Structure formats: C-alpha cells, structure tokens
Structure 1
Amino acid sequence: MITVNLRAKSPKAKIARLPPTLDTDASATVESLVGSISAATKLGPERIRLTLIDNTRLLPGTLLEKYDLQDNSIIYVKDLGYQVKWATVFYIEYAGPLVIHPLLYHFQSLFYHQEFAHSTIQTTVLNLVLLHYLKRELETMFVHRFSNATMPVLYIFRNSFHYWVLSGVLLGYFVYAPNACADLPPWAYYALVGSWVFAEISNFITHLILSSLRPKGTTQRKIPYGYGFSMVSCPNYFFESLGWLAVVFLTRNWAAAVFWTVSTVTMFKWALKKHSKYKREFAGKYPKNRKAMFPYIA
C-alpha cells in the first residue's frame, strides 16, 4: 500500500472535494484509482484524466506499478468536463454532409434562385459524397474501435465544423451551383470514378485491419500489418486523401480543392503523431522503412 498526493492539473481549475492524498495498492489498476477519485469528487470516471509530473498519462487498462509510483508520488488530476461517446460524435459529424448535400442539390430555387439541370459530374459527386458518409456511419456502428470511450461534449462543435461547413456547405454549395462542373470525356470520367471506388474500398480494408487489432472493449494496441501498412503507418488516411483528390479532378472546383487541402493537411498531422507514437510504443520492433502517410515520401 502506498500513499499518493493528488493535485489539480491546473491551479485555475480546482476540483471540489479532491482529497490531498489517497491510499492505493501499487499493484492495482489505473481504473481502481480513478474509481476512488470519482467516488470522492462525485465526478464521473470518464471525466477524470491522471498524469504524472512529466505529463505521462496513466492509461486505463494498465497497472499502477508500471509507473513506478512510490510513497508521496504526485499525481495530477484533470476534469475533462462533460463527456459524450466518440461514436455519437462521429454520427453527428457525418450526418452533416448527408443532410446538406441533398438539400443543396434538390432545392435549387431556394439556394440559387433558379432552376437548372445538373451536369453528370454534379449528380455523380452527390452520389459519391452520400456513399462516402454512409460508409463512415456504418463503419462507426460496426467496425471502429475507439481508444478513448468519450470526448468533451464541446468538441462536437469544433469537430463538426470540418464536416458540416467545409465538406457540407462549402463543397456542396459551389459544386452544385449552375454551370459549376462541366462534363468530362468518358475515359477521364470513368478513370476518376474508378479511382474513387478503389480508394474507398482500400480505406475500408484498412479500417477492418485496424479494428481486428483491438478486441472490443479494450485499448490494446498492436503493430498493424497487411494491406497498405507495409508502406505507411496510416494508409487509411492516404486512401481517404486519394478519394477526395479524385473528387477534385472530377469537379475542377476550387471549393473541392480547399476541402481536399484542409483534409489532407489535417490527416497528415494526425499520421505524424500516430507514426511517432507507434515508434515509441514498439521501439526496436516497428518497421523502419514505413512512412507516416505518403508512400516513399513522408
């Protein structure tokens, strides 16, 4: 049995009823310590994040002895605020384009103040967008495994901006506008649609691989191998970017290019973080020839 000192992570965000010390068994789990803090502070366990003085996070599913805690070790406690399930966030995010694109496409007089015939490209993009986000909703329901069960509820608005505003309003409004997307030669049209289909199927395969590495209800991590993973750590992001690049060339529209650029830069940043985390976590075992997101590049 050891006694640990508890401190609020931020002096400006004090936690009511946080005990200054707590007795715990060094061989207990992080969850048990979180449970004790939850009982004392009346905060839900999902709101509590524990870190050490060097910002090392005490991860759920691990034993306290992993962190070499001693008597009087300091553990910092952060209240993450009201939480919502990650799956719920995804459902809300992806619902934006699924609602906005059909509205912009079908209610022409409301948004463009005229009636006109859409080009083949515009109709195709509508179908591609709907299929893409329907796929994402179904993956959230049946495929994805989340390392964190919840996230702060206010993050819904931040995360939804990308999907509702950029992928929804910006992309949809300018792509479905009158005379926005002229038709392409058949060979180019089918080549680009085929590229999009390839990217979507490839993205789905990588999601299945990632899901198979983590048993349901756990935060276990393994080195991913297989389709795409021989070249990069995050082939799911690479194929996602490739699919939207096909939409850029289909539409030749500046709004599609802006959305693709923002999406790709964001995913590349995520890929760099995951790549770095993989190398730290599996030091000496992680394949050295893998790039983060773009094969042979970065």
Structure 2
Amino acid sequence: MLLDSAIPISFSYFISTVSMIYAQYLSQDMPEPAIDLKYPGLALFLLGIAGNFYHHVLLSKLRIKDDKGYKIPKGGLFGLVICPHYLFEIIGFCGVSLIAQTVYSLSFTLGTTLYLIGRSSATKKWYLSKFENFPREIKTLIPYIF
C-alpha cells in the first residue's frame, strides 16, 4: 500500500477508535441496553478479524519477489466476491457495533460499509477492464447477492 494511502487510513481508524472510546465513556451513566449483545458482537468481531486476515494473507501471496504484474486473486471467498476482505471488515465492525451499542458505533459501521461498498464496486470495474477472462459471475461484496 502506498504511504500516501496508509497514513490517512491509519489516522482515520485512530480518530474513529478514540471517538468510539469517548462515546462509551459518555454513555457510562446511561441505563444498560435491554439486550446484552456483547457475546454475539465478540463472535462477529473475531470472525471479521480472522476472515479479513486470511484474505489479506492470500492477497500478499499473489506477487512473488520482483513481480510487478497484476493477478486475479484465488482461494477463500475470492471465487464468490471481488473483495472478501472488505466483507469481513464490515462483519468485524458490525461486531464492534453490537459490543458498544452506541449511536456512534452504529454510524461508524454504516459509514464504513458504504465506503467499502464503493471501493469494492470500483475494484470490480477495474478487474473487468484489465482482465478479459475475469469471471463475470463474481459478486461485488456479498456472495450470491451483490
């Protein structure tokens, strides 16, 4: 990843994390939610982190040393969606929203989801323009649906 992309993305995650922690702090004196969603949220978060990591490992293995060419990713859910790492990132943020149960965490998750939908749509268009043999049945973000 280029440094000019990594810095703003890292800064964005840092600011969002700090804001989410502050929102939790502000909600300390409020009544607890009627339904405790910490454990389902933790399960979703762990699934999201693991799936995201796995698909990033697959992406990292695409290029062998000194290889500058682009390739179509294979393995994992890459045969079903163009950006499974984005799908799992969204799942992880849904888990965080269930754990936190604040308006801020929900807003952040919705914003991130919309952003990643746009990124995966652009990625699919790019792959279709660069590879004649790119499978057209591969969905953008959600297997078999979108």
| TM-score tier after normalising by the smaller chain length | 0.7 to 0.9
In the alignment, structure 1 residue 297 sits paired with structure 2 residue 132: no
Distance 1:296 1:211, change over 3 A: same
Equivalents in 2 of 1:189, 1:168: separation in Å? 17
Q: Give the number of aligned pairs.
A: 144
Aligned to 1:194: 43
| Cα contact 2:47–2:91 (8 A) shared by 1 | no
The structure, 1 or 2, with the larger RCO (C-alpha pairs under 8 Å, 6+ apart) is 2
Deviation at 1:88, TM superposition (A): 8.0
Q: Structure 2: where are the runs of 5+ without partners?
A: none
Aligned to 2:70: 221
In the TM superposition, what whole-angstrom CA distance separates every residue of 1:39-93 from its partner, at most 9, and x where no partner exists?
xxxxxxxxxxxxxxxxxxxxxxxxxxxxxxxxxxxxxxxxxxxxxx835863xx5
Percent identity between the two aligned chains = 26
In the alignment, structure 1 residue 86 sits paired with structure 2 residue 2: yes
| Cα contact 2:48–2:88 (8 A) shared by 1 | yes
Aligned to 2:97: 248
User: What aligned pairs does 1:49-68 form with structure 2 within 5 A after superposition?
Assistant: none
User: What aligned pairs does 1:220-239 form with structure 2 within 5 A after superposition?
Assistant: 220-239=69-88
| Cα contact 2:38–2:98 (8 A) shared by 1 | no
Deviation at 1:246, TM superposition (A): 1.2
Aligned to 1:281: 130
Which structure has greater helix proportion?
A: 2
Distance 1:297 1:162, change over 3 A: farther
In the alignment, structure 1 residue 169 sits paired with structure 2 residue 18: yes
Equivalents in 2 of 1:86, 1:180: separation in Å? 43
| Cα contact 2:94–2:109 (8 A) shared by 1 | yes
SS state of the match for residue 200, structure 1?
helix
In the alignment, structure 1 residue 179 sits paired with structure 2 residue 29: yes
| Cα contact 1:209–1:224 (8 A) shared by 2 | yes
In the TM superposition, what whole-angstrom CA distance separates every residue of 1:86-124 from its partner, at most 9, and x where no partner exists?
35863xx5xxxxxxxxxxxxxxxxxxxxxxxxxxxxxxx
Deviation at 1:296, TM superposition (A): 2.4
Deviation at 1:245, TM superposition (A): 0.5
Distance 1:280 1:263, change over 3 A: same
Equivalents in 1 of 2:65, 2:5: separation in Å? 19
| Cα contact 1:231–1:295 (8 A) shared by 2 | yes
In the alignment, structure 1 residue 266 sits paired with structure 2 residue 103: no
TM superposition score normalised by structure 2: 0.84
Aligned to 1:71: none
Residue type matched to 2:145 in 1?
A: I
